[in-house]
Each structure stands twice: as C-alpha cells, then as structure tokens.
Structure 1
Amino acid sequence: MVYFRDQENTGELQDLVVKALSDLQENEYEERALAQEALDRVKANLNHLLEQEGRRRAGRVRGIRRWLPYAAAIIFACTLGAWFLMKSGEKIDEPNVVGSNILPGGNRATLTWADGSTIDLSETQSGIVVGKEITYVDGSDVLHVEAGKPESQSRSSDAEWLTLSTPRGGTYQVILPDGSQVWLNASTTLKYPSQFTGPERVVELTGEAYFSVTHIRGKANQQMVPFRVLSNGQTVEVLGTEFNISAYPDDIDTRTTLVSGSVQIMNSASKITHTLRPGDQSITHQQQTEVIQVDPSLAVAWKSGDIVLTNVALETIMQQISRWYDVEVEYAAVQPRSAEFFGTVSRMRELSAVLQAMESTGNVRFQRNNRTIIVNPKN
C-alpha cells in the first residue's frame, strides 16, 4: 500500500484491478463500464487523500499520515465491494417496503414578504436573485412569472426583511443584494434584507446553509463591511469567505465549518469568541464552543448531492434522510449496538437505494411503512 501512496502509481493500481475484473466478465460491456466508473471513483478518492496529505503536511494536523494507507485500502475495498454487490443484486435483500418508492427532494421554497404575503417559488428554477427586482437565476421576474399575486407584493424602494424558506425535501439558492450566495438545505429558513444599508450586513438562519460571502467596502470610509449570520446560539462574523452552518432547532449542537477565508464565532451565551481557519469546525452547545478539525468537503457534501456515511452516527444520517426525503424515522425497541458505515451515496437516488446502501455496509436493517422508516438491528 505504501507503493500506491505515490501518486504516479495510482494508475497502475487501477490497471491491475481493471484487468482482474475484465477477466471475470470479458463479454459484458455494461458491467465493464460500471466497473470502470467505480474504479475512477477509487482513483479520485486516492488522489484526494494524497493531495490532502500534501496540504496538511505543512499545516497543523499531521495525524492523517498515520492512517492514510488504511484509508486508501478502505476506499479501495469498499468501492470494489460495492461493485460486486451491485452486480450480485440477488444477494442483497431489498428493504422491507410498504408503499410506493420515495423520490428525493428538489427545488422547493417559499418567499415571504415583511407583510406576510408569500410566493411558492418555481420548482423548475434553482434559485432567486435579489436586486432592484427579485428574479430567478435565469433572469425571469419572480413577480411576473407567478401570476395572480396581490399588489402588496410589489417591490418597495425601501429595505424590507424577506424570508426564504425550504420545506422538508426542498433546497434553494439565493443571491443576496451584495452578490453573496447562499444555498439552503432542507427545512431551512433565511431572513435577509432586500437591501444592505448601514455599517454591517446581517442575516438570520435556522437550519443549514452554505455561504459564499463577497467582500464589500463602505462607500464613505472604504472600510470592509462585515457580514454577520445570526443562528442558534451563536453569531458568525466574516468579511468574505465560504463556510457552512448547520443550526437546526432539533439538533443538540450548532456546527460551523470553514471552507476558505476566516470567520469569528461568538457564543451568544458566554460571549466568548473563537477564530476559525480553513478545515476548522466549531461546535456550539449552550455556553460551550469547541473547535475541531474536519474535512470540509464532508460537511458540505449535501450541497454536492451526497450523503456521507463514513464515521457518521446513525442518528445523524437518519436525520438527514428524514429532512431530505420528508419521512419519519422510528427506532425498534432493540437498538443497533453500533452502526459503522462506509462511503457516500447520492441523495439524488430513490430512498430505497440509500437504505440498501446502508444495509450493505452496516449492521442495520430497515422497514418502511409508507413514509415511516423503522430502524432495526441486523440479525
């Protein structure tokens, strides 16, 4: 495995496995294509780990070097194993299902004006742009497209607070008046002004969102205008950066993960401030805030359409599934003693495929009764 840690040799690893698989199924073009796709993911994951190790070698965290060979082996084994499981579908039991297939969520959101009037935004659009007018990302006018709306929803020249809300099974993007972009995950609410005025930019978040904040200078003094996010138990202050906040009311902790730039986290109860650097994640619970190091790509996998299974608690995964697929989750009287999963699964797939992937790598089994998922230990 040390040999294959050399980035120049990962191609050789791929060639060896391709040959092994082609010997098994020489005449099956479709299976060979599926194998190639899986192996491409193996190579990408290996290269990602190698690049990550190189970046971190000069940084503060060096522990990754100790487990990199094992991580590479796990990625390789799990991806190869997933290919065999996929091609041996008769060996995998379908989750016990009552009811029709449950499809993943999509572009769904509601826009609310300060006077309480609302618009259900188009599901064929991915987001809105807030400027002199509110438009969809393709330039079409939200107010003109949505016919039959009361005149109270016509735009005012004065700044007013707007609210963008996604339901369970919904996601949407908003480009704010300053050009900052926010991607909302399911069951999320973002409150923001139609115009940013004054010495700071302030928004309020409930749920989970990914922020890409632009640098703005004040017209009068040319000083940087701070951007603040008020969320559950904390205030995040930035000038221009990318970060993810998960602040659901039913979660114990509020987690902020920094992708690039720098942010300051102030605990609302203790008033203690922490500064995050890329790769840092703050965990706020009441008066306590802890800062740990994580792989930021895992924390924002939802934005890329993935559900991360590796080293994620069963309850956390099921919460994500509940919000995205709009289902209820119940646990059997006997709880799984441990539930260690590996890999990622696309959240663009039907729910049954996600549950099947979890069953194939963990010691759980699922039953589904319409829109209720029952979690059982695997016998």
Structure 2
Amino acid sequence: MSKDRIWFLVGKKLAGEASAEELNELEGLLRSDPDMHYALQNITDLWNLPTPATDDAEDAFNRHVNKLKDAGVKWEQTPAPENQPNFPITQKRSRKTLMVISIASAVLMITCIYWYNSITKKAASSRPFAKNEVSTRNGSKTKITLPDGSKVWLNAGSVLTYNKDFGGEIREVELSGEAFFEVVPHISPKSAQKVPFIIHTHHLDVRVLGTAFNVKSYPGDKQTETSLVHGKVEVLIHNRPDEKIMLRPNEKLVVKNEETNQPVSNKPGASNKEPFVSLSKLTYTAADSILVETAWVENKLVFDNESFLDVAAKMERWYNVKIEFRDEKKQALRFTGVFENETIQQALDYLSITAPFHYSIQGNTIIIGR
C-alpha cells in the first residue's frame, strides 16, 4: 500500500500538481525507504532531460509498458474514440507522456533494486563465516588480544580460530593445542545480557563469563585438560552431553580422550582404572611454588612426576624437535623439573643425571637409547 502511495505522489510531484501536504508526506515515506528515495533521484534526473521527439517518446512509452507487463504490473490504456480528431501533439502532451515513462522507469528501477538487494542478502547469508586463525609452530609461543579485550596466550604447536564477527552477540573460539585465557566480561549491546565466552575443542567445550584458565587439547594426546585459576567455568563433554561440570578456582578437569565406563572421580585411589573424567587440585612445584599447569605462560617448561613419554611430548613442542625411543622401557622413567633458558642438550643432560639414559642428536631428531 505504501509503495502504491509513493508512486502516486511521485507522479503528482513530477506533474507539478502535488500540494505542500502531499510533498511532506512523500518526503516522510522516502525517508523510511532509501531504495525508493534513490529511484526518485534518478527519475528527477530523467524528468529534467530535454523533451525527446514525439516518435521517440511514444516508442519509449511502449517499451516501458511492455516491460511493466512482463514484470507482472497490470496496465490498462483507455482506447481513443474512433471519431476523435487528430489534433497536433503539444508540448504538454509530451510532458505527460514523459511523466508516464518516468513512473514506469521508477517501477522497473525499484523492482530491480529490491531484486538485487534480495539476491545480495541471500548470497551473503549462504557464504560461510570468514574466520581469523592464529597459529604457533613448535618452539614458539604468542599472545593475542581478541576484539572483546580478552587475552589469549597460545602455546607451541597450537591453533586458535574465531569468526571475524567475534564479539558483540557471540564469543566463540576453536582451539587445537594449548592456550591460557584471560576472559573479560562482555555485555550484549542488544539484550544488555552477559555474553558467554565458549572454547570448542575436539573432545569438550568450555563456557565462561569472565575468568582466567588454561585449556590443553593437543591432537594425539591421551587427555584434554581444563585448569581454572580464578572465576568459574562450565565444561560440556561432547560424548556426555547430559553432564555439565562446574569448576571452582584452583581445580583441574582431566578428560581421557578414549571413552571408558568410569564415572567422574575426585578421589584418587578409588579405582585401579583411570577414570574417564577426573577432578583434582592444580599442582605447584615444591621448590618455588610454580603453578605447573600455567608455567609455560611465563616461559617455563615444568613437569612434576611425569613419565618420560609425556615429558618428551612437551619437549618436542617446546624445542621444535623429534624424540624417538629406541628403548621403550625408558618411556616409563619419571621426572620432575623446571626448564627456562636451557638448550635442548642442557635439558637432556639434566634429565640423564636424574635417571640414567643415553641419547644422541641427529639433526632435528633425538634418539633415546639405553
């Protein structure tokens, strides 16, 4: 109804027959419809062109009428009486013809504009969200600030991905590897509600509002860890969607990457089998009270009573090397230590003093033998 009214008022304006009230009404309608306003600008330019020859005007008129019919617009023209005298066509008649042509142009132009906008919006909605990706190679780390002000420390051999529209109404990232997060609270500008921050990993999702925590989820690792320093997080395990686990400050959740039938456990020694999900306190080194789970953020490689196999995996990422065991028995050796500025050779020398083993370095590969 409003578009019909706009076309009617446009016709009266171009014919010079619109009242002041009608012009004000047209202006208000066009303010609420920018596409119509753009079309009117083009019509006005067309109207101000020099009047074409009569034959050209009639041909243009007929072409536009045919296009209107093709577009589905009803058009009825009153036939002239048979005995009507053939008066010469005046300038006024040409102006009225131009008015009809202009209105027809408006209809076609508006139809094209709306069609174009519709196609553009559909095409935009069908495109996948553009993503930002931050990655680190083995032997390197990085720190980034997300658009919402949250900070992320990315450990070696890790990938963090997030949509380019991150922030505002949605805060979700995908993590492969290890990262420490300092998440700031964020209020939605639309709903005035707190927007959660969600980390998606291969085996679980972590949902937070504002907190500091560490997530470790490397491909190929035996387990996925979430360590909460302060604040509150909610963890949803993918293959146990009915279980939502809330972590309190100074707690760590460990999820085995292979399903078992064991329930959630926070009592060490309750079963001879390792539980699928376990809760424990964060670990501090006895010597200088370094928090083991987040020491890497301070550029410290820390391990506390861990098997040589697990220590080797950390060292591979830390030093960008490949470690091979020629003697599998050595994988069970357990170590506790803190490395900061040591080279890989210095670190291996220290470990070999603690528990005897031999090693050799061949390029970028380290061979652990007897």
Change (3 A) 1:361 1:265: same
- Of 271, 277, 280, the match for 1:292: 280
Question: Which residue type is aligned with residue 204 of structure 2?
Answer: Q
Determine if contact 1:159/1:196 at 8 Å carries over to the other structure: no
Cα drift, residue 184 of structure 1: 0.7
Question: Which residue type is aligned with residue 293 of structure 1?
Answer: K
Cα drift, residue 282 of structure 1: 1.0
Determine if contact 2:327/2:368 at 8 Å carries over to the other structure: no
Question: Which residue type is aligned with residue 368 of structure 2?
Answer: V
- Of 125, 134, 142, the match for 1:164: 134
Partner in structure 1 of residue 295 of structure 2: 301
- Of 307, 321, 326, the match for 1:327: 321
TM-score (norm 1): 0.55
Mapping 1:168-179, distance limit 5 Å = 168-179=138-149
TM-score (norm 2): 0.56
Question: In the alignment, does 2:254 pair up with 1:283?
Answer: yes
Partner in structure 2 of residue 210 of structure 1: 180
Q: CA RMSD in A?
A: 2.0
Change (3 A) 1:334 1:188: closer
How many pairs does the alignment contain?
Answer: 219
Measured in 2, the distance between the counterparts of 1:370 and 1:361 equals 25
Give the share of equivalent positions with the same residue, in percent. Answer: 30
Cα drift, residue 338 of structure 1: 4.4
Larger radius of gyration: 2
Determine if contact 2:307/2:331 at 8 Å carries over to the other structure: no
Mapping 1:129-140, distance limit 5 Å = none
Question: In the alignment, does 2:336 pair up with 1:342?
Answer: yes
Cα drift, residue 337 of structure 1: 7.5
Using CA pairs below 8 Å that are at least 6 residues apart, which structure has the higher relative contact order? 1
Question: In the alignment, does 2:237 pair up with 1:244?
Answer: no
| SS of match in other structure, 1:170 | coil
Mapping 1:179-190, distance limit 5 Å = 179-190=149-160
Moved over 4 A (4+): none
Cα drift, residue 304 of structure 1: 1.2
Cα drift, residue 334 of structure 1: 5.0
Measured in 1, the distance between the counterparts of 2:172 and 2:331 equals 44
Partner in structure 1 of residue 312 of structure 2: 318
Stretches of structure 2 lacking an aligned partner (at least 5 in a row)? 1-127, 260-275, 285-290
| SS of match in other structure, 2:310 | helix
Question: Which residue type is aligned with residue 213 of structure 1?
Answer: V
Mapping 1:1-379, distance limit 5 Å = 160-197=130-167, 199-271=169-241, 272-285=243-256, 286-287=258-259, 288-295=276-283, 297-333=291-327, 335-336=329-330, 338-346=332-340, 348-377=341-370
Stretches of structure 1 lacking an aligned partner (at least 5 in a row)? 1-157
| SS of match in other structure, 1:335 | helix
Question: Which residue type is aligned with residue 157 of structure 2?
Answer: S
Determine if contact 1:342/1:361 at 8 Å carries over to the other structure: no
